[in-house]
Amino acid sequence: MGSSLEAYINAPLPIGPELRLLFSRTAPLAIFDIGACEGEDSVRYARMFPRSTVYAIEPIPSNIAKLQTTLATYGVRNVRILPFAAAESRGHARMFVSAGQPPDRETSESWNYGNKSSSLLEPGRHLEIHPWVSFDEEIEVETRTLEDVCREYRVPRVDFIHMDVQGAELKVLDGLGERIREVRAIWLEVEAVPLYVGQPLKDEVANYLASHGFILSRDTVDEVSGDQLWVREEVARSGVKRRLSSIGRRLTWYSDPLARRGS
C-alpha cells in the first residue's frame, strides 16, 4: 500500500501483465472486489477493463461512505457497491472493525492505514505482529453468499475475484457453491501465521483452491502474509501458461499443491 490514495490508484497493478493475458480489455467481465474498503482497487480494475462491471463488496458503513467518495472523485461508473459481507451463508455476523496509525508513518488525510484489517474473525496474533492496529469496535453486518449475489444481480459469470477479507477467504469461497467452477482467476491475501482466530493458513487455502481446479501462478507470501494469484487450470491449458512464462511468471502443475510454489 502506498502513502496516499491517489498514488496507490495510479500505481501499476502488481498482476497487470497477467490480467492483460487472461482477459481482453474490452470484454464485459464480472469482477468481484471483496473487502473493497475505500474502493481503491475497484477503481483500478474498472479503469483497466472499462466494459466490465466491478462488484465492490464492503460491509462497514464508514468505508462505504469513503468508497462512494472515491468512485465520484475518479469518475468511475462501472462499479456497483454491495453493502454487505460475503460469507458462507446468508444472515448477519459480527465484524471486528480495525483502526490505527503506524508510528513510523505521517498522518495522511488521503490514506487510512488502520481501516484495512477489519474481519469477520476475532483478531489473534494480529495484535502481537501489528500492535499499532486496534480492534475497539464491533458491529453487526449483513452477510450474503456470492452464489446469492450472482443470482440476485444476474451475474452471468464470475470472471475474476480480488479478495482481501482478513482470514475469511474460505468462508467467501464456500459461498460460491458450484459457481466456483466458472471463476477464471483469484487474487487474494493469504496468511502464514494466524492473525485471526480460526483462520485458514496458506497451506489450507492452497489445498482448497487446488482441489477446485486452480493452479498457483504467483506467490508473494512471506513469513507473515502476502498475496497469491490462482488461475483455473483449463485457462492455463488453453495457452496462457506459455504466454505467462514469456513475461517471467511460471504456472506450475503439481499433484501435491504444497510441494511447489510459483513465484
Give the pLDDT score at 235: 86
Query: 247, exposed or middle or buried, with CB in 10 Å at 0-12, 13-18, 19+?
Result: exposed
Mean pLDDT of the chain: 89
Alpha-carbon distance of 83 to 58, in angstroms, equals: 5
Q: What is the pLDDT of residues 34-57, one digit of tens each?
A: 999 999 999 999 999 999 999 999
> What's the rounded mean pLDDT across residues 127-137?
95
Alpha-carbon distance of 97 to 60, in angstroms, equals: 8
Alpha-carbon distance of 221 to 74, in angstroms, equals: 31
Residue-range domains of the chain with CATH? 5-181+191-225+240-246 (3.40.50.150)
Residues near 208 by beta carbon (within 8 Å), at least 6 away in sequence: 170, 173, 200
> Across-strand partners of 123?
196
Q: What is the edge-to-edge ordering of all strands in the sheet holding 185-191?
A: 79-82, 53-57, 30-34, 160-163, 185-191, 225-232, 214-219
pLDDT more than 90, % of the chain: 81
Show the DSSP H helices in 143-215 as ranges.
Answer: 146-152, 169-174, 202-211
Q: What is the pLDDT of residues 65-124, one digit of tens each?
A: 999 999 999 999 999 999 999 999 999 999 999 999 888 776 666 667 789 999 999 999
Cβ neighbours, 10 Å, residue 44: 22
Alpha-carbon distance of 57 to 234, in angstroms, equals: 27
Among all chains, which residue has been given the C-alpha cell 457453491? 177
Residue 11 predicted with pLDDT over 70: yes
Give the pLDDT score at 1: 45
Q: 222 in helix, strand or coil?
A: coil
Alpha-carbon distance of 37 to 57, in angstroms, equals: 8
CB 28 within 8 A of CB 52: yes
Higher pLDDT, 8 or 252: 8
Cβ neighbours, 10 Å, residue 260: 13
Write out the E strands in 192-235. 214-219, 225-232
Name residue 253's amino acid: W
> What's the rounded mean pLDDT across residues 128-143?
96
Give the pLDDT score at 261: 34
Of 22, 80, 81, 83, nearest to 48 by C-alpha is: 22
Alpha-carbon distance of 101 to 203, in angstroms, equals: 31
CB 192 within 8 A of CB 223: yes
Q: How confident is the model at residue 4 (pLDDT cuts 50, 70, 90)?
A: confident
Joined together, the cell numbers standing for residue 164 give: 482481501
Residue 26 predicted with pLDDT over 80: yes
Joined together, the cell numbers standing for residue 55 give: 462488484
Say which DSSP state 196 is in: B
Give the pLDDT score at 250: 44
